[in-house]
Structure 1
C-alpha cells in the first residue's frame, strides 16, 4: 500500500547541559494517491528535513497529510511547511495541550494555539481507522493523548510508536524516561508490544531510535545503521572543526 522512507532518524539520547535534544523520527509514506508524514520534527531539523524531502522527490506542496503522534515541539512544529496537508492528531492530546498554560515545558504554546484553529485539523479517537491502512491507538503517559499508529496493507505491518515508546531501552526495560504518568506509560508499553506481536515480521518505528523488528527470540533488533555526529569550533581557526561521532556507544 505504501512505500516508507525514514527521512530523519530518531536518536535515543538527550542533552546533559542544554535542555531538550529533540532528534525525533520523521517517516514518509507514499501510495494510493497520498503522501503522508508521520511527525514533522523541530525547527533545528529543517535544513536536513528539506534535503531529505528533495532527495525523495517530495515537494512540500505534494504532502496530503501530516499525522502527529503528540504535540511536543520536537515532533510537531513543522506542520506549517506543508500548506496543502490535512493535519491529524488525537482529540485527547489537543484537549490537554490547549489547556496548559505557557511554562517551562515541551509544548510550543503558539503552535498549539494555531494548530487548534487549523481549517484542516482532524481530531482522532482511540481505535479510529482514518487514512487507508492506518489506525490510531491511544497510548498515554509521555503526554495524556499520545497516539501510536498501526499501518496495515503492506507485506508486513508497521507500528509507529512515537514517544509512547521512544527507544529500544524503553521497550526492553518496560520503563520510560520523561513521562507524565509512569503507570500509564507502562500500560501503553504493554499495548505497543501487543500491536508489535500481532503479526510476524511487524516493523516498529519509534520516536527516538532506529527502526526495529523482533528476532527469532522475540527481542528487538535494529534495521539499518545509526548516523549521528557533532562538529564544533574549539580552535582559533574557523576552518578547523573537531568532529564527534555519537552514533555508537563507547563504554
Structure 2
C-alpha cells in the first residue's frame, strides 16, 4: 500500500503505478497510474486504467476492503484508452470528464485515435456521466485545472489545504523527464504541452513537500531539487523464449534491479 498524503479530508493512495516507457514494436504500452482517494463519505478513483490492468485494479481495491460497487466517483483526466476503459466496472459511480474532452474524443478519426471508441460512446450516453469544465471544483476539495497538450482538453486535479499540495497531473506530465525538461513526448500539441508542464512544475515547486503524480511514473516529492521518488518501482515481464513452459525468463523493468 502506498499512501501518499492526507489532505483536504482525503487519504490519497497510489493504487496502480505508472511506468515511464513505451513499446517499440507492439503499439502503446499504456501502463498508467490509478489513484484512490477516500474521505468525505466518498471513494474516488482518478483514472481507471486500461482493460489489461482490470484484475490488478480490482485486487488492489479488495486489499483495501473496497468492492467495485463501493466506488462513488471517478475523475477521468482524459479519454485515452489506458486511462478510462475500466469506468464500466463501477456502476454506482458518477464518471466525470471534461465535456470538451469527451466531445473531442467522439469526433476523432478512428484510424489515429488513442480513445477506445466504444467505451467513449457508451460514456457519452451513460446516466453516470458528469461533464466538467476547467477551473471548476471537480468534487469538494478537488480543483480541476486545464492541462492541454497531450490532448486538447486534458484536466489535472489539485488538492491544496494551504499546507500541503497534491497534483494529480496524469498525462499532462507523464514522467519525471517531462517535468524537468518542460517538454512532452507523445503529445498532440508540443507547444501547449510545454506550457502546461511549466505551469504544473511551478505549482509543484511553489510548495515544499508538494507531491505530483505523473501519468506514467512514480509520484515525486518536491525536495527543492529534481524531486524524490515516492515508493519503489515494481514492473517487469515474464517471457517464454524457449521450447518449454518451464523455460521462462523474468525481465525486471526497474532502475534498482528489483524483480517484479
TM over 0.5: yes
- Distance (whole Å) between structure 2 residues aligned to residue 112 and residue 150 of structure 1: 24
State how 1:89-108 maps to structure 2 within 5 Å: 89-108=97-116
Q: Does the CA contact (< 8 Å) of 2:48 and 2:85 recur in 1? A: yes
Q: 1:183 to 1:249 in 2, by over 3 A?
A: farther
How far did 1:95 drift?
A: 2.1
RMSD: 1.5
Spell out structure 1 runs of 4+ moving beyond 3 A: none
Q: Say which of 91, 95, 111 aligns to 1:83.
A: 91
Q: Does the CA contact (< 8 Å) of 1:2 and 1:154 recur in 2? A: no
* Residue correspondences, number: 249
Deviation readout 1:55-109 (Å, 9 max, x if unpaired): 1111100000011010000000000000000011112211211111322331111
- Distance (whole Å) between structure 1 residues aligned to residue 147 and residue 105 of structure 2: 15
Q: What is the match of residue 236 of structure 1? A: 243
Stretch deviating more after TM superposition (98-107 or 82-91) = 98-107
Q: 1:53 to 1:155 in 2, by over 3 A?
A: farther
Q: Say which of 166, 169, 172 aligns to 1:158.
A: 166
Stretch deviating more after TM superposition (236-245 or 174-183) = 236-245
Q: What is the match of residue 178 of structure 2? A: 170
Deviation readout 1:120-172 (Å, 9 max, x if unpaired): 21111111113111000111110011001001349622100010100000011
- Distance (whole Å) between structure 1 residues aligned to residue 183 and residue 194 of structure 2: 6
- Distance (whole Å) between structure 2 residues aligned to residue 31 and residue 152 of structure 1: 15
Q: What is the match of residue 228 of structure 2? A: 221
How far did 1:195 drift?
A: 2.2
Structure 1, unaligned runs of 5 or more: none
Q: What is the match of residue 24 of structure 1? A: 32
Matched, 1:119 2:148: no
Q: Say which of 35, 39, 53 aligns to 2:47.
A: 39
Stretch deviating more after TM superposition (97-106 or 168-177) = 97-106
State how 1:172-251 maps to structure 2 within 5 Å: 172-217=180-225, 219-248=226-255
What TM-score do you get using the length of structure 2 for normalisation? Answer: 0.92
